[in-house]
Chains A and B, each alone.
Chain A
Amino acid sequence: MTDAPFRLPSGGRIDRGSPVSFSFDGERYTGYAGDTVASALLAHGVRLVGRSFKYHRPRGVVTDGVEEPNALVQLGIGASGEPNARATQVEIHDGLAAASQNRWPSLGFDAGAVNGLLSALIPAGFYYKTFMWPGRWWMKYEYFIRRAAGLGRAPTGPDPDTYDKSWAHCDVLVVGAGPSGLAATHAAGRTGARVLLVDERPEPGGHLPGTSQSIDDAPAEEWVSAMVSDLAAMEEVRILPRATALGYYDHNYLTVLERRTDHLPYRERRGRVRQRLWKVRAKQVVLATGAHERPLVFRNNDRPGVMLASAARSYVNRYAVRPGTSAVVFTNNDTAYDPALDLADAGLRVVLADVRTGLSDARRSQLRRRGIELLAGHAITDVRGAKAVTGVSVAALNSSASAYAGGHRKIRCDLVCMSGGWNPAIHLFSQSGGRLAFDEARGAFVPGEARPAQFSAGGCNGTGALAFALSEGREAGKAAAAACGFRKRGGTPLPKVDVVEETPIRLLWTVPSRHLGRRLDKHFVDFQNDVTAADIALAAREGYRSVEHLKRYTTTGMGTDQGKTSNVNALAILSETLGADIAATGTTTFRPPYVPATFGALAGRDVGELSDPVRTTPMHQWHVEQGAAFEDVGQWKRPWYYPRDGESMREAVDRECLAARGSVGILDASTLGRIDVQGPDAAEFLDRIYTNGWKRLAVGRCRYGLMCTEDGMVFDDGVTLRLGEHRFLVHTTSGNAARVLAWMEEWLQTEWPDLDVYCNSVTEQLATASISGPFARQLLTELTTDVELGRDAFPFMSWRDGHVAGLPARVARVSFTGESSFEVSVPSGYGLSLWTALMHSGQRYGITPYGTEAMHVLRAERGFIIAGQDTDGTVTPIDLGMEWIVSRSKDFIGKRSLGRADTTRAERKQLVGLLTDDPEEVLPEGGQIVDTVTKPPMRMIGHVTSSYFSANLGRSIALALVRGGRDRHGEPVMVPLERAVVPARITEPRFFDPEGKRAHG
């Protein structure tokens, strides 16, 4: 196999024994294990890897890591497709298919590039200015904008991969396995502390393997290997490679995304967890997240072949790739010199343009020895080339760097390496709540005051020199372990590192154009979102002074890279234009996640049937076998209705409703919330919780109760049984059971600890079948011998213990349908036996199971409310017309609020019935009610809360909340719908058996 043309014959961290075949835009390429998509493509001389977002300009690889703005690729398509993957981080493996994004029809010829020609017409805030008027057109504009924009393609189906979440608790968490992170881990680990080291790269060492750095007179990689083998021997130290810290939250809680299989060929991934989200709680945190090199802002600095100096160096040293044949290195600081030397050593012809003049002799002689031409006090004024760099123009800057002193010289080259200084990776520090400080001399934000139990070391602390980064790391690791109570004397001495005298950086936020009058419109600041220096200057002139506003207006820093390379340049240019301090301008907020994360990883296993618990009753299997349609009530699955041979929902519900009043219906009421309230003060407690009184309720009797929140609004309702002098069984709405129990506990624990009362949920201990209708008593008589069922012996609103169908049972004469009803409760294990016994004996009475829909219709016929449907937290008992249940003789939660001006005003919405003029018309719930139909907006006087067709009444019925509705019975109103305006009449909210006699029958 012949090697790729730009691959160096030796060196690098790649495994030349393991060739890998992958594809890019359908074209096959080979690389080696250890390559990224970016390094393998560069080895083949592929420069053009993507198109920019707005102007569709050709773009190439800029970085060698996480901060990459340009080289974003689509990995795969369909359900497991992943857009916007950074080619600089994607490790190649056999079968990998990557594709460029944001181009059509092809990367080489892109129709959208016409935007580039029109760029003068697409200034900052273009979308805001152009597409916001007239408002209704936005929908149309949006369609075209979304088509023209958008980077990758979102997955199209359910994610087939498996994801995990895991907790980790440690003494010290170290983020970043570069030199300071390794030194910190080593120093902390040797004390015996439990240390977790997470690192985004496949191998530890940070940027070191990408340099030609020596440590202790040997290649830096040897020091890295020695550290790693030391750490491997420490029992309490764990290293997670390919693990990126996404977020840093309160109290040292961090999330870490570990990519476990993304680098493997597909055949090796099967059955393995793709990614794992670690939730780390650390006693101490050491941030060693390094720094990102900053681009320089000069004309046409986005041509493919313009990259960061450190990235070019990394491609040479880490990947054994020549990123070009002839390079111009453009810098304002010393850190581009070592890359220039390494490029020359790799056989490139190198010219170095430095905006500074007073350079050290050491640096000058280093260059001289490699034959690198030095252009001191020079800048690149323009870059030529379209799909690849073909050359640059350089000129000498005047003393203030505002213009050029001499003539312009053209230099042919195919690589431009830039360095504008370094931005410490302060993202996590800032997320944790640390204050940033601005280092004027280096033009960088650095950590200021940190949150407790946290250290920053090395590059992210603004420390560039390796020797200092190592010692900072060691001290931070030692101090972090000590803070957890782990100390150990001694330790390895700091390794020896050569130090070269440095010339200070000369900050030059924008490099002037060749023609001074020329706009700065091709001086790119944010490569991914196509934001130029001119856009930022324009925004400043238009009055955008806050960096947060600038960001949203120009979209700078809003791409998938979140402006890792662009933010500081952007706000520096803003400050310059405004004549303000950078420190005063400040940064935008750093928010998690640090890198884009898959939804799969965030969801973990909580998908599909594991996304939420499902609760079923003991009779559930029976309902399933009967073909019931189910309704979700909270987490419960409740039978909604039971369709018989081809019945529609309406037909089934009508049949069920008629049976419950005509013969006998049976409802699975096991989901009702039940709370066992016990203790000598139980009655006093219920007196305070409920609007009505409980002390005089006799044992053996039941009572309906209503509870309010302290603002007087109805919260829940239900029937309570007095089981004994000191014991009550409280029933709650099915969906509200946990909330009511929590409510009771809160009052008992926080306000009334003097009350001797205990509450316990017994919802799941009992199964309940409710039988309702004229034959209910007769049916029950057949199944019990020890419960006296006669009207006088067992009156309405009382309960009896005994046996039903041979099972220990409690029978309560309560009714939610308005019919003569019996609720039979048994220990939940007997639930299905009870149900089948009732069904079996009930056959001759035509027993009919009914679901929640029929239950709703039946109760609405009687005007019984459902808390949470006919009430919404703004409705008082008085609004419901339930004064009869509000005690005057005792205090209860919410009572005082019922006398407030707002709760007593006449115009409150009150519960009424609503009958449409057309008896077949069923109003939609939520329908708005008006007095007169006008041109919108109309004055709305209320809304429909419950609405059904009532088979028993042969017409539609509705409950509604209407302003002052109780005084308006008989008055006509309108319900304007999309299709028609429905006329209706306000009525009493009771449609059937208004005296409620049947329940006593």
Chain B
Amino acid sequence: MLLIECPWCGPREESEFHCGGEAHIVRPLHPEQLSDPEWADYLFMRSNPKGPHRERWVHEAGCGRWFNVERDTVTHEITAVYRMGGPPPNPSAAPGRKR
């Protein structure tokens, strides 16, 4: 069980949180202008890397706030916690999505 540092409440048990999947996937502003493959890419495709992964978490059983976490998917080490909309740390570390 992970120990996650909620930016609002401090370190809490993973069981208080819910993971919302990969972060920094922006909803297209004009979905109707996208081709089917482009829309499917937004809807279904995720990067699933081995190593650093930026993902969204919500402190469900706590303050209820969403935030971003950078977590190594192999070691589960959490290398960064940052607010929604904030710039990702260590820009070179994570293999971000190309979009």
Mark A residues whose CB is within 8 Å of B.
249-253, 281, 433, 451-452, 710-711, 742, 745-746, 749-751, 753, 891, 895-897, 899-901
Contacts and interface: CB of A to CB of B under 8 A. Distances in A.
A100 to B, nearest CB: 39
A251 B3 contact: yes
A897 B43 contact: yes
A250 B76 contact: yes
A753 B20 CA distance: 17
Contact of B85 (A433, A742, A753, A895): A753
5 contacts: A745-B64, A749-B65, A750-B20, A897-B43, A901-B36
Interface in B1-51: 1-3, 13, 18, 20, 26-27, 31-32, 34, 36, 39-40, 43
Interface string B43-69: 100000000000010101000111000
Given A250-B76, A251-B2, A742-B60, A750 B66 contact: yes
B94 interface: no
Contacts of B56: 750
A897 B39 contact: yes
Contact of A749 (B3, B34, B66, B77): B66
Interface in B84-99: 84-85
Contacts of A745: 58, 64, 66
B40 to A, nearest CB: 7
Contacts of B2: 250-251
A900 B37 CA distance: 9
B36 to A, nearest CB: 6
Nearest to B28: A896
Contacts of A895: 31-32
A900 B39 contact: yes
A635 B80 CA distance: 36
Contact of B36 (A250, A452, A710, A900): A900
Contacts of A250: 1-3, 76
A891 B39 CA distance: 14
Nearest to B18: A742
Contacts of A750: 20, 56, 66, 84
B58 to A, nearest CB: 7
Nearest to A709: B43
A901 B36 CA distance: 8
B46 to A, nearest CB: 13
A742 B17 CA distance: 12
Given A249-B1, A251-B1, A891-B31, 11 more contacts: A250-B1, A250-B2, A252-B3, A745-B64, A746-B58, A746-B66, A749-B66, A749-B84, A750-B20, A753-B84, A900-B40
Contacts of A742: 18, 58, 60
Contacts of A251: 1-3, 76
Contacts of B1: 249-251, 253
Given A281-B3, A751-B27, A896 B60 contact: no
Which of A251, A711, A753 neighbours the largest number of chain B CB atoms within 10 Å of its CB?
A251
A253 B3 contact: yes
B50 to A, nearest CB: 14
A68 to B, nearest CB: 30
Nearest to B32: A896
A283 to B, nearest CB: 10
A693 B85 CA distance: 28
A433 B32 CA distance: 46
Contacts of B85: 753
Contact of A451 (B36, B43, B75): B75
B81 to A, nearest CB: 13
A381 B75 CA distance: 48
B84 A896 contact: no
Contacts of A451: 75
Nearest to B31: A896
Nearest to A892: B31
A896 B32 CA distance: 6
Contacts of A249: 1
A710 B3 contact: no
Nearest to B11: A281
A62 to B, nearest CB: 35
A896 B58 CA distance: 26
B1 to A, nearest CB: 5
Nearest to B60: A742
A253 B4 CA distance: 12
B75 A896 contact: no
Given A281-B3, A452-B77, A711 B43 contact: yes
A746 B20 contact: yes
Contacts of A281: 3, 13
A534 B98 CA distance: 55
A897 B43 CA distance: 9
Contacts of A901: 36
A433 B75 contact: yes
Q: 7 closest Cβ contacts across the A-B interface?
A: A896-B31, A251-B3, A749-B66, A250-B76, A253-B1, A750-B66, A896-B39
A451 B43 CA distance: 36
Nearest to B74: A433
Contacts of B34: 896
Given A253-B3, A433-B75, A891 B43 contact: no
Nearest to B76: A250
Contacts of A897: 39, 43
A901 B35 CA distance: 11
A145 B43 CA distance: 50
A897 B58 CA distance: 26
Nearest to A688: B27
Nearest to A253: B1
A207 to B, nearest CB: 32
A148 B60 CA distance: 49
Given A710-B43, A746-B66, A897-B43, A891 B84 contact: no
A544 B85 CA distance: 52
Contacts of A751: 26-27
B10 to A, nearest CB: 13
A567 to B, nearest CB: 25
A196 to B, nearest CB: 17
A901 B56 CA distance: 30
A896 B85 CA distance: 24
B87 to A, nearest CB: 15
B52 to A, nearest CB: 16
A901 B34 CA distance: 14
Contacts of A452: 77
Contact of A891 (B13, B32, B36, B64): B32
Contacts of B43: 710-711, 897
A742 B64 CA distance: 9
Contacts of A749: 58, 65-66, 84
Contacts of B20: 746, 750
Nearest to B1: A253
A750 to B, nearest CB: 5
Contacts of B84: 749-750, 753
B37 to A, nearest CB: 10
Contacts of A753: 84-85
Nearest to A750: B66
A899 B35 CA distance: 10
A566 to B, nearest CB: 30
Which of A253, A451, A711, A896 neighbours the largest number of chain B CB atoms within 10 Å of its CB?
A896
A711 B76 CA distance: 30
B38 to A, nearest CB: 10
A886 to B, nearest CB: 14
A746 B27 CA distance: 13
Nearest to A247: B1
Contacts of A253: 1, 3, 13
A250 to B, nearest CB: 5
Contacts of A711: 43
A749 B57 CA distance: 11
Nearest to A747: B27
Contacts of B31: 891, 895-896
A691 to B, nearest CB: 14
B66 to A, nearest CB: 4
